[in-house]
Chains A and B, each alone.
Chain A
């Protein structure tokens, strides 16, 4: 391990920069730019004004009374679903788009699974007048059509990815290849706390606003910290943002909820942190990853496009190994059930991703205060859910 004067490259043994040499100077440049920008009051101020006036921060901390009553505890939702574009992804996209502009890069690429990060990036690019290309798996284009149409309306070009399973993993790979080719003009806005250093730290820095706000809201409201913080984990950006401000509060339990898909035992899931297994390199960093005996990356499976990813952010692998956080998984069926029940119970249509966190709390109620990161809203999921729950009806 090298002594780095800049941002953190490793979390325990995890992280690193496993990328083609062509990208190494760009990663260095990005790291230097972020170190500078995050200490520049003008930049910080511009971002926080946009987060407030454009995106709608701070988001409310909502006491979900009927849900609390049902599960028999006290449950608060951090309402990232109320943000402009409908998910926490906008926190990261706005920050990185501003950074790209500061770096003089006029072309933006992004990958997207559920389409939320793609929409957030397309939105930020429209706002700042940047060119935007979004890589999206062919299968995800099918199941997240409303978001495809939103991105196009916002002026982004959608580049379908047919390779592999046509989902998030393949879209990230294709975005990295574009970046290798166009690195001089292009910034890659990665959508989760994954990728080579400095991305996991950059994305964490931009998402920790979730936990920072929630922590002070909770203290103000209840005079104490929550007993548990629960968030869904795809690559892990909403979870790391929710967790990190509580990391030093040893009494607060941190729980990441992955996608168990058709069940961990079936092998068809998106839960590398829960399933264990040896670490591996995917998309530039060493972390928990689904792979076969030889090290070929396996395909993930989840009803929710945003959790349908065989990797995980390297900091989560370390939080697990160090025992600071624990990781669990929820099946497609249980997430779908929670999606439906929370709509009727609380009047909130939560994203299928976030529904995994809700389902876990429903099945594993605490006796104190729970804080769930409601990472996004589920309008995008209606067609997919309808089809899953009633396969005889055709799609939209």
Chain B
């Protein structure tokens, strides 16, 4: 099966109202523990895993994920070592890599897509690569069956959303809030409107991320029409705060999964 097909099957197979996709910072707090956290996500009931490759200048991330990425880099994590984590986890769940543009360009777009395919990675999200800059990478990913997942935001106008939606592979990453990643005490009031617009303009599932902090938020996103829910900062913070990160995130992920069943 290609990555695109694996992702489609994961959404179809999910026993929840929306597929649950926890975010894992690769190499945080170190490579070994991040692998354990990934397994705990699977144990807790995740349907897919979004695996972040740490980057020096993550423009789309708030303080918690920034700090985790910086720690992962200090601990010596590299693109190659995170792809090894990906390969291990891909045996259990579909893995979608989240990676900033410069890491992709530095290796070369074809080479990067090949490395993903070789590691069994199903999809790729590049948060600082809008569709205007993406044609080469899209072709490279298409050639290898890796889904290049684009993002839309509340600020994205309809016409642009249609363009992005038509080029989406795997799923359409719908940013719930105007802002960077991070927990928020209040969910955006217009979430349903954004999700509705996103669904109108694409054939692939719409997954909502950024700011989903509690199981209630996840439930709210599903009620707003999301077909997938991405939980990031809440889990990274739990991993950072706990002596036993794997156990802490397993419990949390199963709470999120419960809220979506």
Q: Which residues of A contact B (CB under 8 A)?
A: 2, 16-26, 163-164, 169, 173, 176-177, 180-184, 278, 280-284, 286, 289, 291, 293-297
Q: How many Å from the CB of A56 to the closest CB on chain B? A: 36
* Chain B residues whose C-beta falls within 8 Å of the C-beta of A16 in the assembled complex: 132-133
Q: Which of A180, A184, A284, A286 contacts B105 (CB 8 A)?
A: A286
B60 touches A180 (CB 8 A): yes
A295 touches B106 (CB 8 A): yes
State how many residues of chain B have any CB contact under 8 Å with chain A: 40
With contacts A177-B180, A181-B178 taken as known, whether A20 is within 8 angstroms of B102 at the C-beta atoms is: no
* Chain A residues whose C-beta falls within 8 Å of the C-beta of B61 in the assembled complex: 177
Q: Complex Cα distance A295/B79, Å?
A: 10
Q: B230 near A: Cβ within 8 Å?
A: no
Q: Complex Cα distance A2/B133, Å?
A: 9
A280 touches B105 (CB 8 A): yes
B57 touches A21 (CB 8 A): no
With contacts A169-B57, A183-B178, A184-B178 taken as known, whether A21 is within 8 angstroms of B156 at the C-beta atoms is: yes
* Chain B residues whose C-beta falls within 8 Å of the C-beta of A20 in the assembled complex: 59-60, 127-128, 151, 153, 175
A24 touches B130 (CB 8 A): yes
CB nearest to A299 among chain B residues: B56
Q: Which of B132, B155, B164 contacts A22 (CB 8 A)?
A: B155
* Chain B residues whose C-beta falls within 8 Å of the C-beta of A17 in the assembled complex: 130, 132-133
Q: Which of A21, A280, A281, A294 contacts B152 (CB 8 A)?
A: A21
With contacts A164-B56, A181-B180 taken as known, whether A18 is within 8 angstroms of B107 at the C-beta atoms is: no
Q: B55 near A: Cβ within 8 Å?
A: yes
CB nearest to B112 among chain A residues: A295
- Some 11 contacts from A to B, beta carbons below 8 A apart, are A17-B130, A21-B127, A22-B155, A163-B66, A169-B57, A181-B179, A181-B180, A278-B106, A284-B128, A291-B102, A294-B106
Q: How many Å from the CB of A69 to the closest CB on chain B? A: 46
Q: Which of B59, B100, B152, B156 contacts A176 (CB 8 A)?
A: B59
Q: Which of A25, A180, A184, A282 contacts B156 (CB 8 A)?
A: A25
Q: B157 near A: Cβ within 8 Å?
A: yes
Closest 5 pairs (CB-CB, A-B): A295-B106, A181-B179, A22-B153, A281-B102, A295-B102
Q: Complex Cα distance A291/B104, Å?
A: 13
CB nearest to A20 among chain B residues: B60
Q: B62 near A: Cβ within 8 Å?
A: yes
Q: B101 near A: Cβ within 8 Å?
A: yes
Q: How many Å from the CB of A183 to the closest CB on chain B? A: 6
Q: Mark B144-175, 1 if CB is under 8 A from A, else 0.
A: 00000011111111001000100000000001
